[in-house]
Amino acid sequence: MGFLGKGLFEGMVVTARNFVGSYYDKDRLVTVQYPEERVQVPENSRTFPFLVYDSDKDLAGTMRCVACKICEVECPPQCIYIVMDRDEKGKPQQRPKVFDIDISVCMQCQICVEVCPFEAIKMDNDYEKSKYGRFDDLVEHLPDLLKSNAYYHKVKPTEATAVDAKLKAEAEKKAKKAAPAAKPAAAPKPAAAAAGTAATTPAKIAIPEDAPFTPEQREWLGKYLTTASVGATPATAKPAAEAPAEAAPSEAPSGDAPWHDPGMGMQQRMELAKDKPFADNLMAAMAQTDCHACGYDCRGYADAIAGGSEKDLSLCLPGEAETQQMLEKLMKDAGKT
């Protein structure tokens, strides 16, 4: 039966049903009563980055971040600021002293997570980041950023489990690699560690001060001799050099490598390593963060390239194009391309 205004009354019935129904049928009320109830955030959602550490007991020691600054370099809006920690002698420690993220600048792109070789920085899904201050309050410092691996498991279980499995597999691989090397390395460890220096010393002596060479020729000769002498050792020296680096990350010989300082510019580093052997030159071209993004520490990567076992020159992520170009130039100069 149709009459004028029928639709109006049908509408009234619908709203009346809603009105009464909302008191009896709780499913009708879709509102989430926010402070008391919360929406279950999907696991893949993301807000701002945080830093993962493994153990509450040794926070500084189990912090996964090694202050390699890859994320700082890669961050598109440049909201990350990192300063590497140093001990009292000025020796770089493999952990950040300052790690700031300005969440008012961060655009939540997750690129820092993608580039981190250590699974140290991850995206949180905590959306309650409102603060009272407009400036300083929105900069998250290291203590705010550090969250335990357990927390990571809580917010993103699937991802965290995968990451744990990956890290475990890597650790096992390294342990396996280190195991055969451990026996021979046990004795020649100091010798192997000093392989670089041992190889460079005769190379320097090989050209007498009074020899009739121009500086250019002298440099070339030095490089040549170094590669010649080092090139004989890498087969044994490489695993040996890597093993101790894994065992004791701070073993990088700072005394012998004054350029081993991430704060230094490329030019200054190259200047310092100018008269050093070829491997040292290569090392000086690295970003000096010992980030292991390449699979070695800086010394190891340089040795591997110099020894010819590593052909890829683009592995140094923190150094970016600058390092790669310098490495290519050095290799070209050394005639090794």
Residues that bind another protein (CB under 8 A): 4, 8, 11-12, 14-16, 18-19, 21-23, 28-31, 33
Distance CA 132, CA 244 (A): 49
Closest separation between CB of residue 39 and another protein, Å?
16
Q: Could you tell me the two tokens for 153?
A: 């498991």
**Those residues with Cβ within 8 angstroms of residue 320's Cβ, 6 or more apart along the chain or in another chain:** 73, 287
Q: Which phi and psi angles does 316 have, rounded to 5°? A: -80, 100
CB 317 within 8 A of CB 291: yes
Distance CA 307, CA 152 (A): 40
Q: What are the C-alpha distances in Å from 99 to residues 71, 94, 128, 200, 258?
A: 11, 13, 21, 37, 25
11 vs 202, which CB is nearer to another protein? 11
Per the DSSP assignment, residues forming a β-bridge with 217 are none
Angle at 113 between CA 109 and CA 119, to 5 degrees: 165
Distance CA 6, CA 50 (A): 59
39 vs 186, which CB is nearer to another protein? 39
32 vs 247, which CB is nearer to another protein? 32
Closest separation between CB of residue 35 and another protein, Å?
10
The DSSP bridge pattern shows strands 146-148 and 49-53 to be: parallel
18 vs 45, which CB is nearer to another protein? 18
37 vs 87, which CB is nearer to another protein? 37
Closest separation between CB of residue 23 and another protein, Å?
7
33 vs 337, which CB is nearer to another protein? 33
Closest separation between CB of residue 25 and another protein, Å?
9
| DSSP three-state, residue 99 | strand
Closest separation between CB of residue 27 and another protein, Å?
9
Closest separation between CB of residue 8 and another protein, Å?
6
Q: Could you tell me the two tokens for 216?
A: 């250019």
23 vs 132, which CB is nearer to another protein? 23
The DSSP bridge pattern shows strands 121-123 and 49-53 to be: antiparallel
Helix extents (H) in 75-125: 111-115
Closest separation between CB of residue 38 and another protein, Å?
16
CB 61 within 8 A of CB 85: no
